[in-house]
Structure 1
Amino acid sequence: MKVAKFGGSSVANATQIKKVCDIIKSDDSRKFVVVSAPGKRNKEDIKVTDLLIELGDTYASGKAYESVFEKIVKRYADIIEELDLPKSLLDEITDSTKKTLESDEPDEIKFDAVKASGEDSSARIVSAYLNKIGIQATYINPKEAGMIVSNQPGNAQILPESFPEINKLRDREGVLVIPGFFGYTANDKLMTFSRGGSDITGSIIAAGVKAELYENFTDVDSVFSVNPNIVENPKEITVLTYKEMRELSYAGFSVFHDEALIPAFQEKIPVCIKNTNNPSAPGTMIVAEKEQNGNCVVGIASDTDFCSLYVEKYLMNREVGFGRKLLQILEDEHVSFEHVPSGIDDMSVIIRNSEFTPEKETRVVERIQQELQVNTLKIRRNLAMIMVVGEGMKSTIGIISKATNAFAEANVNIEMVNQGSSEVSIMFGIEEEGLERSIRSLYKAFFG
C-alpha cells in the first residue's frame, strides 16, 4: 500500500495529469494520491497558488478582482476541456472558489480557504479523470480524511488525534484522491500548512495509513548532491537518511518541504522521490538508516538572505542567564532564529532577514544595549549559509579541513562555522557574493 504525492509541476496541465493517472494506473498499490495546485507550465508561467494569493489580496483591498479570477478559471477550463471532462466540474470549481471569496469568514481564515482551493480543485479533476479512464477513484476532502489541525492560519500543525481517523481510510475501496496543503480545526475551520505544505499532507497520510512507501513525484529524476544550477551535471544521490534530507531541505534544497518528513520519520516509512516525467527512473530513497560506504558527505546545500546579530561582553561566560536573556528579547519581538554559534565572550544569532525587519532591529538593539550592557553589538546582513551534509561526518577526520581549504581556493572568507551538536551537518556562514564560487569549490573537494 503506497501513498503517492504529485507536486505542482505534475498537475500543471492536462498532459501532465494524464501522466499522473498513467502512473497511478500502472501500480495497484498506489491507493492514496495527494495532489498540489497546478504549478508552472513553463518558466514564464504563474503558479495557480500565486494567482489565488493575488486574488485574495485584491479582493481584500476592495479592488476589482474579476481579471485575476478569470485567469484562474481559464487555467481550470483549459485542463478540463483537454481532459474531456464534464463542464459541470468547471462550474462546481468556479462556484466554490467564488463562494469562498465572498464568505463572511474573518480575512485570515478566508485567505487560507482561497489559497487551498487550488489543491482542492486539482484533487477533483484528477479523481474525475481517473474514473473516466476506468479506475475507481474518490475525491476525499481533508475533513472527511480526518486531517485535524491546530488553529493557526497559514501555519497549521497536524494534531495527534488525526492519525487514528486517517487510518480508517484503509478500509475504503478504490483510489482515494486527497488535496494537499490544508486540514480542518476541531471547529471545522479550514487551515493551511506553511507554503509547500502538500508534501506535509502526503507524509501525514502515509503515516496515518501506515503505508509501505511514500512516493513524492516531482520533476527531477532524483535528489542531486548540489544545486544543478550552480554545478553542471552533479552527482545523483541514490540513498539518504531522514536526518540528511531534513538538513538538506532546510538549507535550500527545493525538492522537499523541510517539515514534510517528520510524520513519515516517526513511523519509519521509507520515502522515494521520483520523476513524473520519467517514472521508471529509480529516484532517491530516503530511509531511517543506511550503510556507510566511501564518502560520508552526501550533499552541499545553501541558502541566502540571512543576517547575524553579534554581541560581545567581557566575562560573558560567567554571567548566568546571559544567553537566555538575549534570546528572550528576540522572543518578545517575535523574531525566530536559525543558529547560535558562541564563544567565551561573544555570541552570534543567525536570523533570516525576513524575520528581522528594520523596525524589529531598532527595538532589539535598544533593548540589548539597555538590558545586557554589552561591549560590542554588530549586525551584518547579506549573509549566505552553506551546509555540508552527511551522516558520520562528526567521526570522520579531516572534513572541516577539506572544507576550509575549499573556501580558501575559492578566495572566500568564512565568517562563521557551526557544527555544534549536529552529527550530520556543518554550517558555514559567508558573504552572499562568494556563494557560487564556494559551492563549486566544495563540490570539487568532496565529489571530484
Structure 2
Amino acid sequence: MSLLPTTSVAALAKHVGQTVTLAGWIYHKTEKGKLVFLQLRDGTATVQCVVFKKNVSAEAFATAQQLTQEAACRITGSVRADERAPGGFELDVAEVALVGGSSDYPISPKEHGVEFLMEHRHLWVRSARQHALLRVRAEVMAASQEWLNAQGFVRFDTPILTATAAEGTSNLFATEYFDLGTAYLAQTGQLYVEAGMMSFGKVYCFGPTFRAEKSKTRRHLTEFWMLEPEVAFATHADNLVLQEQFISAIVQRVLERRRADLEVLERDTTVLERCLPPFPRITYDAALQLIAERQGEVEGATPLAWGEDFGAPHEQLIASQFDRPVFVEKYPAAIKAFYMQPDAERPELALCADLLAPEGYGEIIGGSQRIHDVELLERRIVEHGLKLEDYRWYLDLRRYGSVPHSGFGMGIERVVAWLTGTRHIRETIPFPRMLYRIYP
C-alpha cells in the first residue's frame, strides 16, 4: 500500500487504465454478496470503488466490509471509465487500508432538523450539498480578488479592532481595550481603506466584519465577510460601472468553474447566464412609485413614505421587474451613512446605490461616492451625533490632497446565497454566527 495518495478523485480522467491510490473518507457503502461498493470522497470529488472478493486479499475484503460512514481509508485500484458511474469513472479495487475509524456517525442519510444540523455544523460541512456551497464560496472569494488584482487594485488590510463606528453606533460589538477605553469589532473596513486609496489609487480590503443587530432574518449574520474596493478620482457613475463589471465577472467564473457544484445544488442557472452588463438603474423615487403601483405582487411590499428605507419585500418587488441585478440609486441622505456625497442637483439625496439580486435575494452590494470636502464631512459627522475628535485622522484625508472618490462593499455570503439558490445565509459560511448561535 502506498504511503501517500498518487492522485485525487478529481484527476482520475488522467489515469484511466492505471493503478492509483486514493485517500479519503467513506461517504456511502453498499454490499451485494461478493461485492462491496464504496463511495469515496477526498475533498475534490466522489468516486465509486468496487471491491470484488476474488480480486483482493481476504484481509482487504474484510476491511471493506467493516468500513463505516466517514471512516478514513486508502484505496488502491485500477481506474476505469464508465459513463454510468457518478463522475464517469470507477475504481476496481486491489487494496483497502483503514486509516481512521468512524463509529455511529451522527449525520445519517435520513432527514435531520436544521437545529440538529447546526449543532453538528463541524460534521455537516462534509455533506454533498454543504461541500458544493462552500466550494462556490471559495470560488467567489478567489474570483473577486483575482479580478481586482488584474485591474490594478492593491489589497490593503484594515483593522478588525477599531476605536470608532463607521455605519452607526447602535450595532457594535464592544470590548475593553487595555487602558485605552472601549474598542469595537469593525462594521466595515471602508474608512481605513480610504487611507490606502490615497496611497495606491485603487485598493480593496477583505475580511470579516461584525454587526450586533438583533435580527433573525434569513439574510443576516452577526459575523460575515465583506470585500470593499475604493477608487480615487472616481464618480458615482464610475462606481456603478465598476460594480456591474465586477459582479458579472464573478458570476461568469462560477458558471465556468463550479457548474458541477451548481448541479449538485439543483440551481437553475438561467438567471445567472443573463448577468451581463449593463445592469438596469432605477432611482429611489422611481422605486417608491413602482412599489405603490405594484404593491400587491409581493406580500409585505406596502407603500412607503418618502425618506423610509426599503425592507426585504420591497427589494424583492423591485428586483422582480428586471431580468438581472438592478441598481437602486440616490437614496435620501438622511437614511444613509455620514460619509456619502450629496447629489449636487438635489442635496437631500446621496450619490449612492444598492445592487439588488434577482429572485428575492436583496442587496448584495452597497456603495457610494464619498464626501471629499472636509467642511461638509465635518458637518455630516456632527449631524449624525458623532464626535469630530474620533474622526480626526479620517478628516485628515480631506486636508491633504483630497479628491473625489468612490467605493462599495460586497457581502460574500449574500452573493453565495444568490448564486447557489440557497434561501438561508447560514449555509453560505462554514460556521455561522447568528443572534442565537455561537456554537460550534
- Tell me the TM-score normalised to structure 1 length: 0.25
- Tell me the TM-score normalised to structure 2 length: 0.25
Higher helix fraction (1 or 2): 1
Higher strand fraction (1 or 2): 2
